[in-house]
């Protein structure tokens, strides 16, 4: 399996980033792997953070009045069409795969994974679940509303209790879907 976590072939990654950024978006994840249906090139795109708006704001926070706009089906379609055209004329970007492949372009979704301090700041006020590599105050699974990050520690409010989870102890985290 090839993923964006470090081992994606640089020419493929560079081509994907070039297409995604041409639409003012950013690459969230890139996977190219063999699955039961054959080879799948999975591209997840997102809007950059913080949102661009007039005025300045501290790093990692949204400018005053900025609203987060979701990635649309149309965004995914445009990226897919452009990327498909590039891969048709430059099949060597896919490496040794000489067979067909399936291209999937999507957003991280409503229950998106949280990666790094910027995501915990970006989604303050949203419900999240966090799993740690080792117990923190006697537990390894946390659920609550994100309250921010202070000195490398994620603040997660669960009712009246405030969990303090060190960023370095987080194994995985994702947003919870709210209706």
CA distances to 11, 24, 72, 106, 124 from 179, rounded to whole Å, are: 40, 28, 19, 21, 17
Smallest CA-to-CA distance from 40 within 30, 25, 48 is with: 30
- The values of phi and psi at residue 76, to 5°, are -60, -40
Q: Is the pLDDT of residue 1 over 80?
A: no
Across the range 109-122, mean pLDDT stands at 92
Q: Could you read off the pLDDT of 69-91 as tens digits, one per residue?
A: 889 999 999 999 999 999 999 88
Domains of the chain and any CATH numbers: 2-106 (3.30.300), 116-175 (2.30.30.100)
**What global pTM score does this model have?**
0.77
Q: Could you read off the pLDDT of 4-32 as tens digits, one per residue?
A: 444 444 889 999 999 999 999 999 999 98
């Amino acid at each position: 399996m090839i993923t964006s976590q470090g081992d994606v072939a640089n020419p493929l990654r560079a081509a994907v980033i070039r297409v995604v950024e041409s639409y003012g978006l950013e690459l969230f994840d890139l996977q190219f792997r063999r699955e039961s249906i054959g080879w799948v090139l999975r591209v997840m795109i997102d809007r950059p953070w913080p949102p661009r708006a007039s005025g300045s704001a501290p790093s990692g926070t949204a400018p005053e009045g900025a609203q987060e706009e979701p990635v649309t089906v149309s965004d995914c379609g445009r990226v897919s069409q452009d990327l498909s055209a590039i891969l048709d004329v430059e099949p060597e970007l896919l490496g040794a795969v000489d067979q067909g492949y399936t291209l999937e372009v999507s957003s991280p979704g409503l229950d998106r994974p949280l990666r790094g301090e910027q995501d915990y700041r970006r989604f303050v006020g949203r419900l999240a679940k966090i799993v740690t590599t080792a117990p923190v105050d006697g537990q390894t699974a946390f659920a609550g509303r994100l309250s921010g990050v202070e000195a490398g520690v994620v603040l997660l409010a669960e009712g009246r209790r405030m969990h303090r989870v060190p960023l370095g102890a987080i194994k995985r985290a994702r947003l919870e879907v709210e209706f």
